[in-house]
Amino acid sequence: MKQEGNPILSLTAYDYPTARLVDEAGFHVILVGDSMANVVLGHASTLKISLDQIISATRSVKRAVDRPLVVSDMPYGSYHLGKKETILNALRLVREGGAQAVKLEGGSKRAPLVESLVDADIPVMGHIGLLPQAVHPRGGYKVRGRTSSEAKSLLEDALALESAGAFALVLEGVPASVADRITSRVRIPTIGIGAGAKCDGQILVFHDVVGLSLGPTPKFARKYADLAGEIRESLTRFAQDIRSKDFPATEEMYEDGELPKDWDASTKNPERALDLDR
């Protein structure tokens, strides 16, 4: 798709119904992202989510779709203790979760891991720029590539990951001009998130797109609906109908057929046992 110039449509999903809707909308890539830690599980960062949780979410997503490419994030700690453990964890995502590829964060220093995963027949999507899993060593969520040294380092990271065998790159929190230059220098597709309009594709978090995020959203997110508002209104109306006994209505009840009015007359309530401790 990079050669044809057709944008790659990507979005996150973490469950069956969401994945179904994303597929129906024609998206090419579904990322089972560690952002689930924030928007679904309520954590302040992505660091809290486990490999088992990502595997479970991937299963749900994969049951819903056949056409889109399903990519699973390798969560924090799942690729930090050496090649062997990284491969074993990635194999679990593929074999148990059904992922068709994995994504991991980091640049040139991750290239040996990427090469090992590719040698193990596991497709890898790279991720450079703003790295949510590196929030602590980097002192927060900061745009990368605003200086010449940072921009050059990002380009070197991109080229190293491509050389290691990554099939695509996520560019997050990168100035548009830098992302454009990187996109023109690599042969593999780039997918931007806060990286301008010149990447080969775009991705956002599903909850940000549909207005279901309950916390602050990043500058680069665009909201196309207000599902949180719609849900609040629906639940308020439901609660009101229960209180006023407008729910359920007759058409929402089951008829009793031809039961006699005294059908319960022969059934006696059990006598209460005497509580001697009182």
Q: Which phi and psi angles does 140 have, rounded to 5°?
A: 125, -175
Alpha helix (H) residue ranges in the chain = 16-24, 36-39, 51-64, 83-95, 111-119, 148-164, 176-185, 206-209, 227-243
- Burial track 142-152 (b if 16+ CB lie within 10 A, e otherwise): ebbbeeeebbe
Beta bridge partners of 168: 125
Residue 197 DSSP one-character state: S
Q: Pick from 240, 243, 214, 210: which is nearest to 227 by CA?
A: 210
Active site residue 230: no
Residues 6+ apart with CB under 8 A from 218: 141, 194, 208
Of 172, 252, 258, 271, catalytic = 172
Catalytic sites, residue numbers: 172
